Structure 1
Amino acid sequence: MRITKHIAFFYNEERFPYLNQMIQAANQYPFYTDIYIHCNQSFPIESLTKPTNGKIFLILHDITGKDPWGFPENTRNVMKSQKDDYDIFIYTEDDILIPPQAIQYWLDNKDAVLKEGFNLGFILIETDSIGEEFGVNLVNKDCISQQFYKICKINEKHYAINDVNTHIAFWIYDKQEFHRFVESKWWDPANIKGYDRLVNVAIGLHFVNDPDFQWYRDTLIPLTPELKLVNECKTYHLPNKYIKDRNSFFATVRFDEIVPLTQEQIINPMLVLQRKQLRLQNS
């Protein structure tokens, strides 16, 4: 098995530490991983953390006179050209840490949900100064409650349904799903509606803002017996940008509160609706 991981890196020296952390994580992936860094400016890749589980390639793109927000779109042609060369395909923004346990989580769970027409989800995390973890793209503030109130069951296993915000600034697909992706109209980011150009590339096939599109039935994340999200679904937004800004709506849901349900509410779904309504009334 071989992984190709593509990083869209708009040159910024302050973000080199993020690249190094991403390389360190890839060095621990369970399979050989080649990393392709797409950049608008040359730099010595020898200055980065040394890869021990694959190779690093720097791919330069001249964007003179072009909209910099469209820079990530340059990754598409290279990735498509590799569709028969790798088994696992990852696209990510340049500040997202996908730890090895998240890769193993995906390997262990993707087939069960994909067989039923679902996407396997992750949670993008930011960590505050005392180590508490928050879901970056989830809001629990000023009468907005973006928690997961829906559950489904596949092969006796409970999953939370993320019908709120599935954007995690990266995507990962196996070869079969990647082939379907590149052969679809959605491989052209211009066909994705409801997001900006940056997100159009990073959202993959699990977007929810377009009412005319549904590739997957929903995005699912496995639950523990205590009805909490499994820890292995965590990925990390390295700048911790939103958690530092308490005026921000983002990163306001603690990880262990993303699914605010009990066993009783699983048995009686009406209690889920009642609890959600009560939460909004008390906000």
Structure 2
Amino acid sequence: MRILVAIASYGHANDLYLDRVINEYRSMQFDVDVVVLSNIEKAVPPAVECLVGLPTKDPWSLPFLHKKLFLDRLNLYDLFIYSEDDILITEENISAFLDVGSALKEDEIVGFLRVEYGPDGERNFPEVHGHFRWDCESVRVRGGYTLAHFTNEHSACYILTRQQLTKAIASGGFLVAPHEGEYDLLCSAATDPYTQCGFRKLIPISHIDQFWVHHLPNKYIGHFGVDQRELGSQISALLLIASQEKRCRPLLNTETSLWHKMYSKDCYEPIRSEVLSLIPKSAERILSIGSASGANELWLLETGKQVVAVPLDDVISNKSAARGLQVVSGDLDAARAKISSMRFDCILFLNVLQFVHRPEHLLRLFVDALLPGGVVLITAPNRPYVRYRWQRKGGPRHSRLSFETTRIHNTSSSVIRRWCVESGLSMERTSKVDSPRANGSKQNRLSALFASEVVALAKRMPDPNERRGSKRGVGNACGPL
């Protein structure tokens, strides 16, 4: 088997990693040719080529140079590998790719996850951050492998067979000019085969250790990503879905269609103690709608509250459920039916309502689960359309911003107030805060004009049909489902 490897390497910063990567390929039993793509001449081993040039003036366009190389040598190789200069792909990775690839359908393709190693051997998986999560509906079995799709398709590398590369080229989505949209320039070059060539990237979760590749700098540890315990918990939930052949549907879509998926829900949001402190001290029974990794819900649980969560899906919530959080699975209607006998002092909608076409309907669906005097705590971005236009100044923009085109509402204090009133809630207070991810970003620079997030507390209005002082359902407020 003949393999062509293209490695993007800008400048000299990663030369030590580049040397290690090249040596790894040269040690393989396969017949491997390595081509380094750079903006400068590099001292590479005699058997390694170095192509110098940039597709555009933007230095981040360098990775797109590999596409013409692959086209020109399409008929000379059986396998094509692209990677950045700090990604260590091993012979085991390639062999595993070939093994599982023979069992996949024509539009399915094997992908990888990056892994980093800390000084004590702990593992970090940087792709798992922000709004990215496993698609619980994508789980499937092919041959002896169980696979699933992870929504972050970037891993700074990919492998294609000649047949797959031929199909990618024919799709019209491979040989394209440098571009960015869902991902930046660097990431777009490495994800185009998955995002615009007709392939579905699948990761073999049943053999996950054969499909992670070492990100040599290990620089994201402690900054973003999850550890192996968190990743393992999510994979366990996926494997359970596959073994039981049960249908798993996400609660709702929390990704926008904005440039770089701006304003999508952060599934790994840190504890928001400044927000949770607005919950009345007398509130004991808490319902959280649209929870993700569960940091806030677990924090409330540890303070002695009784907490029930309706998560985005059974995968993202698996670890928090194992730690004692009571989880109600299903779509919105099914979840509401399961808690029909329960009553709560507070309902949380933390960065949820803006993703629903009719937020007032969602509020109304759950508002009668509140006890008399109960409250609803809401967080949402502060005027995301205005902020988005400012952030995209000088770049491509949506021609028309609406929920239909962006999959997010232009939330503000007044918009949330209107939703609450239409749902039978009275607004108690609103405030504006900076989100925990805003520090140092363009988003934070707008704080002089307005903060990045709206926080609202609303109260259930008295129901004339309920008996005064009724405590219906209190005894079963958070009992077993």
Matched, 1:230 2:222: no
Match of 1:120 among 110, 115, 119: 110
Deviation at 1:84, TM superposition (A): 1.0
Please give the alpha-carbon distance, in whole angstroms, between the structure 2 residues aligned to 1:268 and 1:176. Answer: 31
* 1:223 to partner: Cα distance: 4.2
Please tell me whether Structure 1 or Structure 2 has the larger radius of gyration of its CA atoms. 2
Q: Which has the higher contact order (CA 8 A, sep 6+)?
A: 1
Q: 1:163 aligns with which of 119, 126, 150?
A: 150
Uncovered stretches (5+) of structure 1, i.e. residues with no partner: 208-212
* CA distance in structure 2 between the partners assigned to 1:130 and 1:79 by the alignment: 39
> What's 2:67 paired with?
76
2:173 maps to 1:196: no
Q: 117, 129, 148: which one pairs with 2:119?
A: 129
The code of the aligned residue for 2:20 comes to Q
Tell me the TM-score normalized by structure 2: 0.48
Aligned CA-pair RMSD? 3.0
Q: Report the equivalent of 1:110.
A: 101
Q: How far has the Cα of 1:38 moved from its partner?
A: 1.0
More displaced 10-residue stretch of structure 1: 269-278 or 21-30: 269-278
CA contact (8 A) 1:5 1:89 kept: yes
How far apart, in 2, do the equivalents of 1:73 and 1:276 lie?
34
1:280 to 1:214, Cα distance in 2 relative to 1, 3 A: farther
Match of 2:25 in 1: 26
Q: Residue type matched to 2:237 in 1?
A: L
Corresponding position: 1:152 with 2:134: no
The residue number in structure 1 matching 2:218 is 240
User: In 2 relative to 1, CA 253–214 (structure 1 residues): closer, same or farther, beyond 3 Å?
Assistant: farther
CA contact (8 A) 2:132 2:150 kept: no
Change (3 A) 1:189 1:125: farther
1:133 Cα deviation (Å)? 1.6
Partner of 1:56: 48
Aligned to 2:5: 5
State the match for 2:246 in structure 1: 269
- 8 Å CA contact 1:170, 1:204 repeated in 2: no
Do structure 1's residue 138 and structure 2's residue 128 form an aligned pair? yes
Query: What SS does the aligned partner of 1:203 have?
Result: helix
Q: Verify the 8 A CA contact 1:148 1:259 in the aligned structure 2.
A: no
Separation (CA, whole Å) in 2 of partners of 1:161 and 1:17: 34
Q: Aligned-pair distance for 1:124?
A: 1.0
Check 1:200–1:222 CA distance in 2 against 1; reply closer, same or farther (3 A cut): closer
- Structure 1 residue 56: Cα displacement: 0.5
% of aligned pairs identical? 22
2:477 equivalent in structure 1: none
Residues 263 and 198 of structure 1, relative CA distance in 2, 3 Å threshold: closer
Counterpart of 2:193 in structure 1: which amino acid? L
Task: State the AA in 2 paired with 1:202.
Answer: A
- Asked whether the 8 Å contact 2:122–2:227 carries over to 1, the reply is no
Quick one: distance in 1 between partners of 2:239 and 2:318?
Answer: 18
Do structure 1's residue 186 and structure 2's residue 173 form an aligned pair? Answer: yes
Q: How far is 1:154 from its partner?
A: 2.6
Q: Which residue of 1 aligns with 2:236?
A: 260
What secondary structure does 1:69 align onto?
helix
Unaligned 5+ segments in structure 2 are: 250-312, 326-349, 351-481
